[in-house]
Amino acid sequence: MKIIGIEEHFLSPDVRAAWAAAASAGQDAGESLHFGEMQDRLEELGEERLAKMDESGVDVQVLSLTSPGLHNLAPAEGISLARRTNDLIAATIARHPDRFDGFATIPTTAPEEAVKELERSVRDLGLKGGMLFGRTGEKNLDHPDFWPIFEAAAHLRIPLFIHPQTPSRAVREAYYSGFDPQVDLAFATFGLGWHYDCGIQFLRLALAGVFDRFPDLQIILGHWGELVLFYAERLKAFSRVTKLQRSVVDTMRENLYVTSSGMFSESNFRHAVEVVGIDRVLFSTDYPYQYRPGGGPKNFLEQLPVSHDDKEKIAHANWERLTKGIRRAQA
């Protein structure tokens, strides 16, 4: 069974240096998690990564720059780094075309240039989607500045992955502080804060009418839906007060894909299938963050209590179907 991991991260030395230089302007606290062996694994795009993919049973990684991407950098720097980062992804794919695909890095601080870079990455470099990280500065993802990005993605027929980013400083101080500094950091990032923040960004898109405007736009959320799926029943109540063309839950079933992100939980899987359906579940290992020796990704898929055909859908076929109709040529 072919296995494609669609949320598999890397970090280039150029981006790491830019983050460090911007630290005085208020860096994302999650950046401090990238050090030592984790940093080495993020920056390595060759034989060691391939060996760990083989050990895990993963045939293809869809590469993406790790969080917070370029969302907190100055526009000119973001544009330059986006081009270099996407060229790096394309070069990595060219060296191992049967082992890697990629999500485009998007310089959201310069939305017009972001659209151009997304189009270049898809049409010229052959990448298969775009990676977003929620807020850009103080602007949430539903801000009108970013709608051209959604329009471009819908036209290109590519998915956009919304990845977690650390909540704003004000939110961290209000809700995720008061403990040991390491506990505060975990609370605001991988423990919980990342996931609430990311789920809220998706809901903001729905409530703002982004999917009414671009009904073919497809979004991917990791970690089994970034908590949103678990409130599907409650989210139906939005229909009482919104004037959307579809309910939020119907939007989830028609415009949202979810992926495992290395959380190999059968109960989470069952709930995802219940809400969005088996055809909208994708697979990912969240390399290198959730990497553990022992072949866990392949074992999880093989042991799921579903048919062989459904396992194939999750492992690779859903992703292949989602990206089959990408428009590479100019309209």
Q: Examine the pLDDT at 252 and tell me if it is beyond 60.
A: yes
d(CA 198, CA 254) in angstroms, rounded, equals: 19
d(CA 67, CA 221) in angstroms, rounded, equals: 14
- In this prediction, residues 265-291 reach a mean pLDDT of 97
Q: Which domains occur in the chain, in start order?
A: 4-322 (3.20.20.140)
Q: Which residue has the tokens 């650390």?
A: 166
pTM, rounded to two decimals: 0.96
| Amino acid 255: pLDDT | 99
pLDDT mean across residues, the chain? 95
Q: Is the bond preceding 288 in cis, omega lying within 30 degrees of 0? A: yes
How is residue 214 written in tokens? Answer: 């671009």
| Amino acid 178: pLDDT | 97
d(CA 171, CA 95) in angstroms, rounded, equals: 43
| Amino acid 22: pLDDT | 82
d(CA 227, CA 240) in angstroms, rounded, equals: 22
d(CA 75, CA 106) in angstroms, rounded, equals: 11
Residue 202 φ/ψ region, left for φ over 0, alpha for ψ in the -120 to 50 degree band, beta for the rest:
alpha
Q: Which residue has the tokens 């999880």?
A: 300
Q: Examine the pLDDT at 27 and tell me if it is beyond 60.
A: no
Q: Examine the pLDDT at 30 and tell me if it is beyond 80.
A: no
Q: What length is written for the chain?
A: 331
Q: Which residue has the tokens 């609370």?
A: 187
Residue type for position 271? H
d(CA 8, CA 301) in angstroms, rounded, equals: 17
Structural contact between residues 107 and 78, judged by C-beta atoms closer than 8 angstroms: yes
Q: What is the pLDDT of residues 103-156, one digit of tens each?
A: 999 999 999 999 999 999 999 999 999 999 999 999 999 999 999 999 999 999
| Amino acid 5: pLDDT | 98
Q: Of the ranges 16-25, 78-87, 130-139, which one carries the lowest mean pLDDT score?
A: 16-25
d(CA 90, CA 86) in angstroms, rounded, equals: 6
Q: What is the pLDDT of residues 226-244, one digit of tens each?
A: 999 999 999 999 999 999 9
What is the pLDDT confidence band of residue 24, given thresholds at 50, 70 and 90? very low
Could you tell me what percentage of the chain is helix, strand and coil, using 3-state DSSP and rounding each to the nearest 5?
55, 10, 35
Judged on CB neighbours under 10 Å (0-12, 13-18, 19+), 272 is: buried
- In this prediction, residues 9-30 reach a mean pLDDT of 78
